[in-house]
Structures are given as structure tokens and as C-alpha cells.
Amino acid sequence: MLKEAQIILKKYFGYTTFRKGQEQIISSILNGSDTLGIMPTGGGKSICYQIPALLFEGTTLVISPLISLMKDQVDALNDFGIPSTYINSSLSYSELRERLNLAARGKFKLLYIAPERLESEQFRELLNSISVSLLAIDEAHCVSQWGHDFRPSYLAISALIKSLPKRPIVAAFTATATESVKNDIAGHLTLKDPDIFVTGFNRENLRFSVVKCKNKSDFLIDYINGHKNQAGIIYAATRNQVDKLHDLLKRKGFAVGKYHAGLSDGERAANQDDFLYDNINVMVATNAFGMGIDKSNVRYVLHFNMPRAMESYYQEAGRAGRDGEPGECILLYGASDIHIQKFLIEQSLLSPERKATEYKRLQNMVDYCHTSRCLRKYILEYFGEKEVPESCSNCGNCDDDLELTDITVEAQKIFSCVKRMGEQYGSGLVCGVLHGSGAKKILHLGFDKLSTYGIMKDYSVKEIGDLINLMTAEDYLHVTEGQYPVVKLTPKAYAVLKGIEKVNQKVSKKKEDPKDDFTLFDILRSLRKTISEHEKVPPYVIFHDSTLKEMCKYYPTTERAMLDISGVGESKFGKYGQQFIEAIQEYVQKQGIQVDASYTSKTSSKGKDNTPSHTITYRMYLDRKTPEEIAKERDMTVITIQEHLVRCWQEGQEVNWDMFIPKKYEALILQAVQKVGSQRLRPIKDELPDEVDYFGIRAVICKYGK
């Protein structure tokens, strides 16, 4: 039947090959085995039960937690020509009976139902009239009380299975599950000797980072400004925070919507549709938004507050890059996030046992925010993966601009203080003692008499707290669970106290950004002054300082790149843009700075017949015209023409680079490239005689493919 499954995959879904894990899961279901599939978000879980549904006799019953997801999937299936429908609270009783009657007559291959319907014994009896060949359970982790999204209605699924005239094949799916949750799923859903497939939790296309910033709102605005044309989700911990962020971003002119349980059903549906149909780029939401959202082109997910659990964080972050293209997942961390989550845990109606579990999960998230190890490794090991590489080269802790700093002395001071305080107090009091606080509790307990009192007075309380969090994340300290956690030493800490082991921290290298060059800023400011005098308007009317500084950072040398700069609209570009581009082109040429030549103009880069500008240049080059001749004829700079030729070569066109390489210096240029690398031209130029120009260097780099 697998061959038939491949035919269906192409016929209905348009794919020629299965994604990782899909073929094995489908084979298991087709062989009649109960199956548990743990696949990352965007891994294609739905196809794993939709294809068997088309091959089995009767109807496949799909239990799905969200009404919006049901409707989207049913609409898509019917559009494919697969008869499907759903039953949920949005239907009237007469509509419900009609759909059940049609299902009993075999009119639907897939019937989606909300788990809450199963709590009604009467409804379960109505389902008895349907021939159910396969029961598919989406978001199966919701059945586990130890999961991050427990839904009591899922516990009624086992009763449904027992009540059906003939037990169907049962297939359960989830994106995130620890070992205990995995066992809960198999147990509560009464899976019989299930085949369990874990296709891996790693999402290689996602970049993870934690940003500790004093002003999260400023970071948010700057980030969205730099990703204006990209779709993104911003998660906040509370409805009030969502409302505030939504209003802030709207005032700043962003196309933004919001989503939380405090809005009406109509508002939530309208905002979600606006996001799905690209009417807005940004959605600010609580964790009520996103489960089952099929929008594939979300490029970033920002968490304004730290989530309570790794399971929910990874699921929410995983909504970026579902199309396999790069996505960015940034967690904005602040110390107040811990207090918010602790408050939410305490205000919940969870049992003491569940609350203890939630505190443990919260500590795991705090550790994630402070670890100096690879963030991807931390996540994957949390979910039980083994032999994970030490570095992924695609997270905030594996960046090349980080270096190890020895903080053994600071660690010894902290460990010594914890020990002298009897390992009976929380991190807040430890910070106070180390900083030399005069708080009443510290004086009352006599901690001002300890040798470690004030031993780190040169550090702020926050800095000491960050170090304690780092030591906890790296397993030097252990924080007990509960509302009032206590800091204790681990065996690793004693090794440090004895001088056997050292402690290192990853910090940003203290180096000057080569793009932070005020020489270019002065050039652009002078140009702006000249234009303002000619136009008889104040300089800031032309461009703000912040816009010029962004130009200095990104070196926009094409129309498209310039239009990506904050503060450069199409109108201003039409008036002033080309003059600034030429000034930047001249600067980067003189400084030997390589910029991305792959950008194309949106309008003026094309000829009257819509031919790309670099293609026009290439045709003239084929007519044996020199870059200087082409530049004069096209009223462009020579640098622009040279960039056109480089781009044509990058696109696979043939360029005779020997025409532009000074023969007597070719070997010398190649030797210089091999010595200093080809990332920047200026260091290469410094190795060569003055008569060798930058384009000659680029020609050698292109010729030899460096």
C-alpha cells in the first residue's frame, strides 16, 4: 500500500517524496499498528493520517483542539477534492445531526471533532453510527497532566475508543514530548503495542538566541524596523502586556494585530485571518495564539517574556520557518519574567504536586536563559536527544563574536558565601550579602559579620544575580523547587572551591565593529547639508541622523538596499537616494569593503523592456565595451558597472576576468588573498603596490573562486 500512498501524495498534495519520518509512520498505520508520531512543528504530521484515510474503508475521525485549525484543514482538504467536514461548538444541533448522518452514509473520508464534544456520552453514542477505521489524535501531549498544555477533555478519548463498535487503528501526534509525557500519551490513549517514531526535535533552519536588555520595547521596535516586510509573532505573558505592545507598535506605524482570550471570538478570528492573509505582518499574542496555525512564512518569533516551560517555548518558537527557510527565535529576558511566571503558577488552581512540576520547568527555562553552552544543545537534550554536538554554529551562544572569560574567582566568592550562609537561603539574600547590603534581614541574621559580606561590592546586585543564574544553569549551584527556592552547592562547585576546576563565561569580544565608521557618517552628513541648502529645507527633513547611521552600518549600494534603511521611503529615495548610493559606493571602494552584490533595484534597475540593469550591462560588455564606456553611456558610476559584472558572474554568466587583472601582479594578488583571506579587500590592498586597484583584486578573487 505504500506505493499507493506515494501516488496519493503526488495526486492530492503535489509532492513527489515524503519528508523525514512520514513514510515510516504511514507504513505503520497502513500495517494496522497503533502509532505515536513525535515530529517537529512543520514536519508534516497531518499528511501522516490524511493519506491512510484515503486508503482505508470508512471514515477517519480526527480529534483536534482548535476550531480555527479544523476549518483551515477541512477547507484545504475539500479544495484537494477530499470530502471532509468538522463538528464543533460553532454548529447548530440540526447542522450537527446532518453532518453525522452524512458521515454515517460514508460521505466523508475525514471527520474532525473537538475533544470537548467527547465529554458528552450522548455525542459518543451518536458516533457509533459511523464506520471509523482510523482515529487520529492531534496535539496528543494535551492528554498528559504533566504536559505543558493539559486538557481534561482529552481524557475522554479512551472512553470513545471503548464505545466504538469496532476498535479503530489509533494514531497520536505531537511536536514536543518528554519521556514522561510520551508514556502518558500511550497510557491514557490506550495505545496497543504502539510503534513510536521520534523524527528528531532539531529544527536546523531556526536560530535561537536570548537577549538580556534593559529596554525590551526599544529592542522590539528596532528589530521589527529591520524586518519590516517579514511576518513575525511576538508572544507576551499576559493580556495586559499584549494590549500595551499592540498599541505601542500601532503608534509606530506597524501593521500589527493582537490575539488573546480577552477578545471576542469575532475579533480573534478577524485578526488571525489578517495575519494568515498577509494583511498584517506582526501578531502580538499570548500563548492562546498559534497552535495549529499553518502560516508557513513566519520569519521570526520573539518572546517578550520568558515562558514557563521549555515545551511551550519550543512549540511557540517553532512557528517560525515552517517552510524550511531561515527563521529567528529570540527570547527577551528580564529578571521580572521569573516573578511573573511564579505569580501565574501561584494563582493557578493546580494541585501542589503539579505546582512543584511547574516550578521545576520554570527553573529549566531560567537555566536556558543563562547558560553559556549551545542553546540548541540545551533544548535537544531537554527533550532526551543523545550525542548532541557541543556547538551548532546557529545560536546566540555559538556566535563567533563570543569569547571565554575566566570567572573562577567570582564563582569562588559566590560558592563560599552560599556555604557560609548554610545553604538555606534564596539567591536574593545571597546577592545582598555579597554586595554588602544593609537590609534589616541581613543584619538581623548576622550575615554582615561573614567574611563574604560585601566581597563583591563592585558588582551590582543584578550582575551578581546573573552570575548566580549562570552557575545554576551550568550545574555548579542547585536551586530547590517551590515558591521559595533555596540555593545549594553541587559537587562541581566544591571542585572549583578547591581550585581543581575553573569556571568560564562567554562574553562578547571587545572589538570595534568595522562598520561603525564616523568617516562615512561625516561624508553623508556633508552631502545632506549640501542638498538641504539647495532644497532650502532643514537637514533633518532630508534624512534623520539615525537614518544616516543605519546607512553607515549596512552600506546600501543599490535601490533595494537603500529602501530597506529605516527612514528611506520611495518618495525620499526618488529625490535623494541615488546621490547617497553613489557616495557610499565611492566610500566602500576606497576602503576596500565588500558589500552584497546580489541586491537588485525594484524599479530603476530595469530597462524599458523590464530587463534587469545588470543584464543590460552584461550585453554591453559582450559588445566589447569597457566598464568606463558602459558607465558613461548609461550615466552610472564605474563602480556600479563593476558590481553588475560581478553579479552576472555569480549568476553563472561567463566573464573574462583576465581583461581586468594586471598580468604582472596576478600571482602577487593571489598570494595576498591566500595570506589575509578574501572577506575584506582593504587588507589585501595593503599587501599590494598602489597601482593595483580594487576591481583588479575582485577579478582575481572571482577568477579563482575564492
**Greater pLDDT, 318 or 235:** 235
539 pLDDT more than 70: no
What per-residue confidence (pLDDT) applies to 507? Answer: 67
Rounded-to-integer distance, Cα 217 and Cα 222, Å? 9
Q: Which range, 134-143, 395-404, 499-508, is most confident?
A: 134-143
355 pLDDT more than 70: yes
What per-residue confidence (pLDDT) applies to 508? Answer: 59
Rounded-to-integer distance, Cα 378 and Cα 376, Å? 5
* Least confident among 376-380, 419-423, 507-511: 507-511
Residues 393-419 have a mean pLDDT of 84
89 pLDDT more than 90: no
pLDDT in tens, 167-224: 999 999 987 777 788 888 999 999 999 999 988 788 888 999 998 866 788 889 989 9
What per-residue confidence (pLDDT) applies to 147? Answer: 62
Rounded-to-integer distance, Cα 554 and Cα 201, Å? 35
Angle between helices 336-347 and 352-370 (to 10 degrees): 170
Average pLDDT value over all residues in the chain: 83
* Least confident among 132-136, 260-264, 289-293, 396-400: 289-293
What per-residue confidence (pLDDT) applies to 601? Answer: 39
Whether residue 617 contacts residue 634, with contact meaning beta carbons closer than 8 Å, is answered with yes
Question: What domains lie within the chain, and their CATH numbers?
Answer: 2-198 (3.40.50.300), 206-382 (3.40.50.300), 402-508 (1.10.10.10), 518-703 (1.10.150.80)
Cell for 362?
Answer: 520554570
Whether residue 572 contacts residue 543, with contact meaning beta carbons closer than 8 Å, is answered with yes
Residues 1-20 have a mean pLDDT of 78
33 pLDDT more than 90: yes
Q: What secondary structure does DSSP assign to 280-324, as a single string?
A: -SEEEE-TTS-TT-----EEEEEESS--S-HHHHHHHHTTS-TTS
What per-residue confidence (pLDDT) applies to 422? Answer: 92
pLDDT in tens, 93-107: 888 888 888 988 889
665 pLDDT more than 50: yes
What per-residue confidence (pLDDT) applies to 323? Answer: 72
pLDDT in tens, 465-521: 888 888 887 788 888 877 778 889 988 899 899 888 888 876 655 444 444 445 888
pLDDT band, residue 540 (cuts 50/70/90): low
What per-residue confidence (pLDDT) applies to 133? Answer: 94
* Least confident among 12-21, 429-438, 456-465, 478-487: 12-21
pLDDT band, residue 21 (cuts 50/70/90): confident
76 pLDDT more than 90: no
What per-residue confidence (pLDDT) applies to 529? Answer: 81
List Cβ neighbours of 533 (8 Å cut-off, separation of 6 or more): none
85 pLDDT more than 90: yes
Whether residue 295 contacts residue 321, with contact meaning beta carbons closer than 8 Å, is answered with no
What per-residue confidence (pLDDT) applies to 456? Answer: 93
Measure CA of the first residue to CA of the last residue in the chain; give whole Å: 50
- Tell which residue, 305, 306, 320, 287, has the closest CA to residue 66: 287
Dihedral sign of CA atoms 690, 691, 696, 701 in order: negative
Strand-strand pairing, 477-479 and 487-489: antiparallel
- Tell which residue, 30, 24, 66, 65, has the closest CA to residue 44: 24
pLDDT in tens, 567-615: 676 667 777 888 898 888 888 877 777 665 444 433 344 444 556 777 8
- Tell which residue, 592, 587, 557, has the closest CA to residue 680: 592
**Greater pLDDT, 207 or 528:** 207
Ramachandran region of residue 385, left (φ > 0), alpha (ψ -120 to 50) or beta? beta
Rounded-to-integer distance, Cα 355 and Cα 203, Å? 30
Residues 260-278 have a mean pLDDT of 85
What per-residue confidence (pLDDT) applies to 518? Answer: 56
pLDDT in tens, 172-186: 998 777 778 888 899
142 pLDDT more than 70: yes
What per-residue confidence (pLDDT) applies to 631? Answer: 82
At residue 557's C-alpha, the angle toward residues 597 and 691, to 5°, is 75
Q: What secondary structure does DSSP assign to 372-405, as a single string?
A: -S-HHHHHHHHTT--S--S--SSBTTS-TTEEEE
What per-residue confidence (pLDDT) applies to 510? Answer: 46
In this structure, what is the dihedral angle of CA atoms 313, 314, 319, 324, given to the nearest 10 degrees?
Answer: 150
Whether residue 235 contacts residue 302, with contact meaning beta carbons closer than 8 Å, is answered with yes
> Could you identify the residue written with the cell 518569533?
301
CA atoms within 13 A on the CB side of 697: 28
- Give the number of other CB atoms < 10 A from CB of residue 349: 6
At residue 353's C-alpha, the angle toward residues 239 and 201, to 5°, is 65
* Helix %, strand %, coil % of the chain (to 5): 50, 10, 40
Rounded-to-integer distance, Cα 554 and Cα 464, Å? 36
Residues 149-153 have a mean pLDDT of 82
Rounded-to-integer distance, Cα 361 and Cα 184, Å? 17
Strand-strand pairing, 327-333 and 402-406: unpaired
Rg of the chain taking only CA atoms, in angstroms: 31
135 pLDDT more than 90: yes
Name the amino acid, one letter, at 56. Answer: F
Name the amino acid, one letter, at 399. Answer: D
pLDDT band, residue 400 (cuts 50/70/90): low
Element (H, E) at 175: none
Residue 508 dihedral angles phi and psi, to the nearest 5° = -65, 140
